[in-house]
Structures are given as structure tokens and as C-alpha cells.
Chains A and B, each alone.
Chain A
Amino acid sequence: MKKQYAFRVDAERCIGCFTCAMACKSYYQQVDGVIWRQVYPLDEEIYPHRERAFLSLACNHCEDPACLNVCPVVAYTKRDEDGVVVHHQEKCIGCGNCIRSCPYGVPKYNPVEKRAEKCSFCHERLDAGLEPACIMACPTEALQIVDLAKLEVTNEVQYPAGYPKMEKLNPSTRFILPKAPKMVRR
């Protein structure tokens, strides 16, 4: 398998603190309403306590990305060296095909630029030997970077409950499921 960088989202460690999301926003200073990384609370049917377990999600850097496939102007590329899916905003014509096609809702419309944009895996930081801003920021190491080619799967899952199962796209993100403590209530 070729090298494929992926986010490893450990919901057992994740404290839903939104630090990753704000680190991303702070680093790129996205315009109002544009978010590259969001922290989603799990539904009570999935985790029994409201707003106490989360999935931190950004671009899944898919093996076969829908955004790339539907883009009419080749504004998306997938890097050979690490599988990171890059959106080149200078080439984007703002047609919205990618926004409509990504089942994970990743590309966002930037109303100022009038073009799409999305998580870049901080490839400019990767290329300098640095971690992405979100991963560097995570206080519990719940968010990590892994190479799927080298990942020995232990308890990771690809499609946790609540996350769309899109096998054709083969999203790279991997998840560890959250746990709940023994409850002693009055």
C-alpha cells in the first residue's frame, strides 16, 4: 500500500474541548461561517450521555475522493507522496460540485473568495516536518497523524456509528470508539 496520511480520532481520549477546531481556525483564520474542522457530539443513541462523546472531523483525504472526481477544472489533486487531498483555490471556479458531492460535507463555500475550500492536512507544515495545527494542539493526543500503510490495526474502526459508510471513497480517517464509566447516581 502507498503511503497515506490519515487522522486517527480517538474518541476514548477525546474530551470534546474544541481545541483542534479552534487551532485550525486560528492558524488559517477562515472567514465567518467557514470551518475546516468541527467537533460533533455523538447522538444519545450512539453514546448514552448528551454532549459527552465526540468525533472531531475534517477532510478524510479519501483514496478515491468525490471532490476530486467531480471538479471540472482540476482544482483538486491527491499528493503521490502521502495521499493528502489538496484543493487549489486559485484554480477553483466556485461551481459547488465538490460541495454537493462530498458525502461528509467537507468542502465549504467561502463567500468572500466565492470559491470552495477545505482542510489541507496542513501540507505546508507536513513538508516542513511539522504536525498539522489541530494535531499539535490536541491536549490529550486524541487526534493523531498515522500512515495507513504502516498502521497495524488494533481497535481502530473506519466507520463508527453516525459516520457515513462510503466504501467507494474509502475515507482515510480511523476512529477509536468512546467508553462510558460505571454510573452511580442517586
Chain B
Amino acid sequence: MTKQGNSLSRRRFLQGTAAAGAAAMLPCSLLVPDEAMAEAFKAGEFATFRNACPRNCYDTCSIKTYVKDGVVQFIEGAQESTFTHGGLCVKGYSYPRKLYSPNRVKYPMVQDGRRSGKWRRISWDEAMDRIAGKILEIKEKDDSLLGLGLTKYSGHFGITNYVVEGMMSSLGYTTRFVGTPCWPAGIDAQNYDLGNMWCNDPEDMVKAKYIIVWGANPAWCSVHTMKYIMEAQRRGAKVVVIDPVFTQTAAKGDVFWQPETSSDGALALGMARHILDKDMVDRDFVNSHSIGFDDFAEYLRNNVTVEWAAEKSGIPADQIREVAEEFASADPATVWIGYGLQRHVNGGATVRSIDALVAMTGNVGKEGGGARYGHLQTWGFNYHAMIQSPPEGAKGFIGGAAKGEFDFTEGDAASYSNRTVNINKTAQEILDTNDPPVRMLWVSCKNPFAQDFDRPKLEKAFDKLEMVVSVEQFFTETVANSDIVLPVTTMFEEWTVNVSYWHYWLGINEQAVKPLYESKSNIEIAALLSRKMNELSPGSCTFPQEVDTREWMAKEFNKGIYDYFGINDWTDLKNGPVKAKLTSTAAWSDYKFGTPSGKYEFRSEQCAANGHKALPEYKESRKSYDEFRLLTPHTKFGIHSQFVNLDWMQEYYPEPFVYMHPDAAREKGIADLDMVRVFNKVGEQKVRVKLSTNVAKNCLMMYEAWFGKGTDFNVQNLVDDESADMGAFKAGAPGVAIHDQFANVEKA
């Protein structure tokens, strides 16, 4: 990174003060008031540990934790990582408060009546007794464990936390909520086009001459990537931000496009048509490394015009032409495809059309280029914790099971399998699944009442369940709808290892302090359950009954990981995170694509075989069912339902708002900071309004968050479970059209 102006660079600053530091380290003396001064910081007074932020976030920061007297005193970003560069984010720095929050779930507890709030402390033994007893009762009644359901996703991405799936497998064949609300339509799209989801090293964005940030908001959701975008800008790159909302990232771009939501596919195809007309296609790439381009060109000529794209998107035709030409002439040029833009009924089709734009200009496989979406290149662990065998004689579901995008296991040849249901329709699946019904639900690393759709329906669905066990740190709405809550450790209290789906760093997570109260890691919980199961019914659970979490973390490593990252042993990571030894910062630099043809596929028969179009054709967006479009993206102060409940965070973010265009508000007689009621066919939410032209006139926006126990703000009161077009191919279930929602508003 270069520095502006005359500021001291980090390194120079450290050198410059090293000598002065010693002189300034005068002993503190209260007798000489003008000299009274706290002593210089002494790193040696602390024990330091390596931690890793395990949230579902691009940045997956490596953390250095300073401990004294067995207590975390403060944390900082790992200096070794060029990606985090010694810093975390607003969420990361609040971790000490999460660890020591007085509101943590401290003991196993049982609730006398769901939503009654009548929680009683019980021992771990009693909790396991109740849980194991119920599991055995289900087995007795149904002759299988398909009545036991697991819903788990990305609340804690530490690799050893796949033990939760492992624990379920060690009990037998169960019902699994499979899929992801996050990014599956785009994953499928990239798989059809390129043969995998695989993005360039984000640090190589500095090499880009033209950057389109399309439906992503890194200024909030990947703060550490912003410095690369800004550096590219300083080196002369133009940054275009395309988003239905004037985001913080948009404010840092050179050009902001605010198209009609979900019209992105039309925009990409309009640009493609113009590039074709201008003869700016990279013929070398198209001829040597792709198939189906002529068909795509024909589709464009017959079905797409720049004026049509302008009409669909609201972006003027001359703008589309200008940016298309600039993009096609810049070398390299790149698009960051955000997850937001594929959370639509046409999301997969949209990603395919953007991929095509990047490919036809020859920007795939190029350093500083690429259609950047995400990757799982660094995730080649053993999944030892996840892969567990069912007990002998276990019976299950007959027929294929779907697999999630993070399921790296090979399929086994057993005739029985788990029963898989769509994680994006949790409520409907619980209501509809019978023979046997889902009787008992285990919730871990997930907060369905914050993340799953159609909250009113979810409450009804949970009421059908005979027992709900939540493994949690806080008394969330999901816990309120549970019978038993088990306290789980934070990352400071356990061993695990973390990688990112964006950057290429690997970081260890050491146990920095002893688990607080009676909290236990997911591995220890699995062992406890196994002990109880085998006590009550010998042979009913194959999970080891004695575990050492450090050993279990070590068992996740293998030679492939060591070679990829250039380390000899996982203990090397105690010196700090390491980056993969990449032969190129570009994905697909050898142009050997993972598609059936081995080439980039403008025309994908696989895509057609799975019920979509073979070409990246335009797909219509969802029809509006109410007056305003409703967007419910991330806040910068939290990730999903985590962080905003902390009192530290509420110093800076004390209450939620719905954002509304001043012109629309005037028509409704709504003034700034009024309390309003946002409502639609799903439900309603009362919240204060902020008027802002950051949103379009036909749009309402509220950031998803959970403000803590006793608060009722929940955007899922307004979001239904409509599916996205793609996702079933690689993630096991279609994605969900989170941003294809509509609502109305009135003064409350």
C-alpha cells in the first residue's frame, strides 16, 4: 500500500519511535503531577493467543488475543496477514464483550412452556438425560431417527463445528435441513459457466484497471477488501458500483448506477450486446477457451438491445454503452458479483449473464480480472469431526440425499440415507414432513427465527415439534421457541481452524481462556450426548465419549493443506496466519475449466438438463405483490442476528430504522423519524423511519438485526420463502429470493 501525503507509514512510525519510547518510559510518580503518566504498554505482560473470527463473512479475520490473569484484555488483527493488516472490524472488536456478556446462556436450562420465559437451570447430566431419552423414544416409536431433525448453517464456521453433523450421523439417519439462504444460485451459475465457483485472490484487485462492484457492499461486509479497491483507484482504475441502494461502497466509487432491483441480468446482457456490436469481443479467449459463444451472440442479436436494457433497468442507454466500452477496453477488468444480486427468482440467470460479460471480454483467468464471487479452494480439510458412521442396524431414508455446498464428503454406498429437506423453507418443511414427522429439532450454529423466512409461519411450525434443543450463547427468539438450551463456547474458549471463502489465508483458533460458566464446545457436547446414549442404550451412538478438542482440531489437517499453504505442521500457525502458495493470483489461469467440455461454457447443456436455459438468457423478475419493494440487507453493525444485541454495539447502533425516499414519504404523510408500520402478506413490523434518497422511491429498506432479548424487531416478519431460480445443483436446495419482497407502509 502506498500512503498519501506526509503521514508516517506504519513501519516508519514504529522505527521512529523505538528510541524515543525508551526515554519516555519514566516510572509513574504521583508526587510529580506534571510528569504523572501511565507506563508504556508492555506486550510481555500478556500471554498471546491466535484466534480466528468464525462468522459467515468474506474477511474471516485472524485475531491476536492478549490475555492476562486468565482474562482476555484486548484483541487486535493479526499483523502477519496482509489482508487484515493488523485490524478487525466494528464487529470483531466487540468480541471481548460477547465473551464476557452478562447476557450469555450460562448453564443448560429447560423452559417450562415455550415462549413462557420460565427457564430453570438444570445439570448437563439432566439435559442429556432428557435429550437422549427423547431420541430413544423416537427410535422406539418410528423404528428410525428420521423424526430427529438438524438445522445448522453458518453461525460458527470453525471447521471442527462440522461435528454437529457428525454427531447426528453417529446417532443414525436423521432429517437434515440442507441448502443455504446465502449464495447458492450464484454457485450453480458459476458451476455451469466455469465448472466451479473460484475467484481470484482479492488482494490482486489492485491490478485491475476497471472494477465493477455489482450488488456487493464491501464497505460494510468486507471492510478489508476496500483498501485494494481504493488502491486500484489511486493507480488509475475506474470503479463503478451497481446497486439498487446508494450504499457506502457506492459513495466510494467513481460512478454509481442505481438500476431497478433485479434487472441486473438485462443490464449485463445490454452491455454484452453493445460489446458485440462494437466488435470488442476477445476473440482469442472465445475461440480457444469457450464453447457456445456463437449461440450466445445470436441470442443477443435476436433478443437484446441496449435500449431494451435501458428500459428494463432505468439506466440510460448512453451510460450502458459508455461503461460497456470502457469495461471491454480496460485490461484487466473485473466484476465483483455480490450475493445480494442473486437472492432473486432470476438470481442464477443474472450471475450467468455477468459471467458471460466477463468471459467475452477475455477477463476470466487473468490476474486483476475475473468474475469474482467466492471460492472453496482452501477448504480441503479432513472433515474428521463431520464424518461419523451410524450405529449398526440404523435405518433411514431410502433414496438420494441432497448435499450442502460445504459438504466435502464422498457419498457412501449405504442403502439408507438421511432425509433432506429445504433449509430455505424450514417452516413449510416442518409442517409438511410426515411419515415420520420431524418430532425433535436440534438447532446449532443457526438462529432460525432470525434467519429463516416467514416468521409467523415458523412459530406455527415449531409448535408442531415435540422437542426443540438450541445450542446457543444468547437467549434469542429461537431459544424462546425451544425447550432446552445448551450453552456453547465462543471461539476464545475452544480450538478450531478457519479459512475464508474470499481470501486465501488460513488461521488457527487457539483456546485462549477456559470456557466460561458451564459452556462447552460442540465437540464436547457430542461426546456428552454419546456417553448418555450409550448409558441408556448401549451401541446407540458411535461418537467417541472422550474427546480432546485440541486433538480434534489437529485431526482436520492433512498433507494437502500443508502443501497448499507451505507449512510443515499446524503448530506453525501459532506464529500467525499463512497464505496459500498460489501459482497465480487468478482463478482459472491455465484455462482448464471444470465444465464437462473443459472450456468456459456460454452454452451449458448441464444447465439446460437441470431445467434452466442453456444460454445465459434474461429471466423475468418476480411480480410485485405490494406497493413498495422491500430490501432487508446486512447492517454494518452485525452479521445476521449476531453482535447487535451487545451493549457495546448499541452505543453506536441503538435502534433499527426503515429507510424510505422522502418523496414517497410525503405522499404517505410520513415525516422523518416517525414510527411506522411496515406490512405485507407475511406479517408486519413497527419501526421508526429515516427518510433518505439512498433508496429509490419505490423501495423500503430495513437492515436485518436482532437487538437482544425483549425486542421484537425482526425483518423475517416481512420476508416469505419464495425460491431463487438456482441452487439445487451444488447446494442441495434452491436459494431464496430474499430481495424479491414487497410491502406497504403507513404511519403507526
* A residues with CB within 8 A of B: 8, 10, 13, 15-19, 21-23, 25-27, 29, 32-33, 35, 38-39, 49-53, 74, 77, 79, 81, 86, 88, 90-91, 120, 123-131, 133, 136-141, 144-147, 150-152, 154, 156, 176, 178, 180-186
Whole-angstrom distance between the alpha carbons of A17 and B305 in the complex? 40
Q: Contacting chain A: which of B244-252, B561-569, B619-627?
A: B244-252
| A21-B43 in contact (CB<8A) | no
Asked if B230 is at the interface of the complex by the 8 Å CB criterion, the answer is yes
In-complex Cβ contact of A180 among B4, B36, B251, B636 (8 A)? B251
In-complex Cβ contact of B21 among A16, A32, A129, A152 (8 A)? A129
A-B contact pairs, 13 of them (CB 8 A): A16-B636, A17-B248, A21-B90, A26-B93, A51-B692, A77-B36, A88-B37, A123-B37, A124-B39, A127-B21, A140-B227, A181-B256, A186-B313
Chain B interface size band reads 35 or more
| B13-A181 in contact (CB<8A) | no
0/1 per residue, B635-657, Cβ < 8 Å to A? Answer: 01100000000011101100000
Which residues of chain B have C-beta atoms less than 8 A from A129's C-beta? 14, 17-18, 21
0/1 per residue, B366-394, Cβ < 8 Å to A? Answer: 00000000000000000000000000000
From residue B547, how far is it (CB to closest CB) to chain A in Å? 32
Given A13-B230, A21-B652, A185-B258; A151-B251 close (CB under 8 Å)? no
Asked if B748 is at the interface of the complex by the 8 Å CB criterion, the answer is no
| A128-B75 in contact (CB<8A) | no
Whole-angstrom distance between the alpha carbons of A178 and B251 in the complex? 9
| A137-B6 in contact (CB<8A) | no
In-complex Cβ contact of B256 among A123, A127, A130, A182 (8 A)? A182
Whole-angstrom distance between the alpha carbons of A153 and B651 in the complex? 35
In-complex Cβ contact of B693 among A50, A81, A127, A184 (8 A)? A50
From residue A6, how far is it (CB to closest CB) to chain B in Å? 10
* Other contacts beyond A29-B96, A120-B38: 19, CB < 8 A: A17-B220, A19-B88, A22-B649, A25-B93, A26-B94, A26-B96, A50-B692, A88-B37, A90-B36, A127-B39, A136-B76, A140-B226, A145-B8, A181-B251, A181-B252, A181-B255, A182-B254, A185-B696, A186-B259
From residue B225, how far is it (CB to closest CB) to chain A in Å? 9
| B90-A19 in contact (CB<8A) | yes
Given A39-B652, A74-B34, A127-B40; A186-B315 close (CB under 8 Å)? yes
Asked if B694 is at the interface of the complex by the 8 Å CB criterion, the answer is yes
From residue A95, how far is it (CB to closest CB) to chain B in Å? 16
| A124-B246 in contact (CB<8A) | no
| A127-B24 in contact (CB<8A) | yes
Which residues of chain B have C-beta atoms less than 8 A from A146's C-beta? 5-8
| B42-A138 in contact (CB<8A) | no
Q: Nearest CB to that of B248 among chain A residues?
A: A15
| B227-A186 in contact (CB<8A) | no
Whole-angstrom distance between the alpha carbons of A48 and B105 in the complex? 44
0/1 per residue, B27-40, Cβ < 8 Å to A? Answer: 00010011011111
0/1 per residue, B92-127, Cβ < 8 Å to A? Answer: 111111000000000000000000000000000000
| A23-B24 in contact (CB<8A) | no
From residue A152, how far is it (CB to closest CB) to chain B in Å? 5
| B255-A184 in contact (CB<8A) | yes
Whole-angstrom distance between the alpha carbons of A26 and B97 in the complex? 8
From residue B532, how far is it (CB to closest CB) to chain A in Å? 39
| A130-B74 in contact (CB<8A) | no
Whole-angstrom distance between the alpha carbons of A100 and B90 in the complex? 30
From residue B739, how far is it (CB to closest CB) to chain A in Å? 16
| A19-B256 in contact (CB<8A) | no
Asked if B87 is at the interface of the complex by the 8 Å CB criterion, the answer is yes
| A181-B36 in contact (CB<8A) | no
| A181-B250 in contact (CB<8A) | yes
Asked if B77 is at the interface of the complex by the 8 Å CB criterion, the answer is yes
Top 5 A-B pairs, shortest CB-CB distance: A186-B314, A127-B40, A15-B219, A22-B93, A26-B93
Whole-angstrom distance between the alpha carbons of A124 and B43 in the complex? 11
In-complex Cβ contact of A86 among B37, B74, B76 (8 A)? B37
Which residues of chain A have C-beta atoms less than 8 A from B91's C-beta? 22
| A18-B636 in contact (CB<8A) | yes
Whole-angstrom distance between the alpha carbons of A137 and B84 in the complex? 9
* B residues with CB within 8 A of A: 1, 3-8, 10, 13-14, 17-18, 20-21, 24-25, 30, 33-34, 36-43, 74-77, 85-97, 219-220, 223-224, 226-227, 230, 241, 246, 248-260, 313-316, 319, 636-637, 647-649, 651-652, 690-694, 696
Which residues of chain A have C-beta atoms less than 8 A from B38's C-beta? 120, 123-124
Which residues of chain A have C-beta atoms less than 8 A from B75's C-beta? 26
Which residues of chain B have C-beta atoms less than 8 A from A51's C-beta? 692, 694
Q: Nearest CB to that of A35 among chain B residues?
A: B651
Which residues of chain B have C-beta atoms less than 8 A from A183's C-beta? 246, 256, 258
Which residues of chain A have C-beta atoms less than 8 A from B693's C-beta? 49-50
Which residues of chain B have C-beta atoms less than 8 A from A53's C-beta? 251
Whole-angstrom distance between the alpha carbons of A154 and B315 in the complex? 37
Q: Nearest CB to that of B322 among chain A residues?
A: A184
Whole-angstrom distance between the alpha carbons of A130 and B43 in the complex? 10
Which residues of chain B have C-beta atoms less than 8 A from A139's C-beta? 85, 87, 89, 223-224, 226-227
Which residues of chain B have C-beta atoms less than 8 A from A130's C-beta? 14, 41
| A136-B87 in contact (CB<8A) | yes
| A17-B219 in contact (CB<8A) | yes
| A124-B40 in contact (CB<8A) | yes
| A141-B1 in contact (CB<8A) | yes
| B315-A19 in contact (CB<8A) | no
From residue A183, how far is it (CB to closest CB) to chain B in Å? 5
Q: Nearest CB to that of B636 among chain A residues?
A: A17
Which residues of chain B have C-beta atoms less than 8 A from A18's C-beta? 90, 636-637, 652
| A128-B87 in contact (CB<8A) | no
| A186-B260 in contact (CB<8A) | yes
From residue A57, how far is it (CB to closest CB) to chain B in Å? 13
Given A26-B96, A127-B24, A183-B256; A88-B33 close (CB under 8 Å)? yes
- Of B7, B223, B260, the most chain A CB neighbours within 10 A belong to B7
Q: Nearest CB to that of A156 among chain B residues?
A: B5
| A22-B226 in contact (CB<8A) | no
Whole-angstrom distance between the alpha carbons of A184 and B24 in the complex? 54
From residue B395, how far is it (CB to closest CB) to chain A in Å? 51
| B253-A181 in contact (CB<8A) | yes
Whole-angstrom distance between the alpha carbons of A39 and B652 in the complex? 9
Whole-angstrom distance between the alpha carbons of A138 and B42 in the complex? 22
Whole-angstrom distance between the alpha carbons of A178 and B250 in the complex? 13
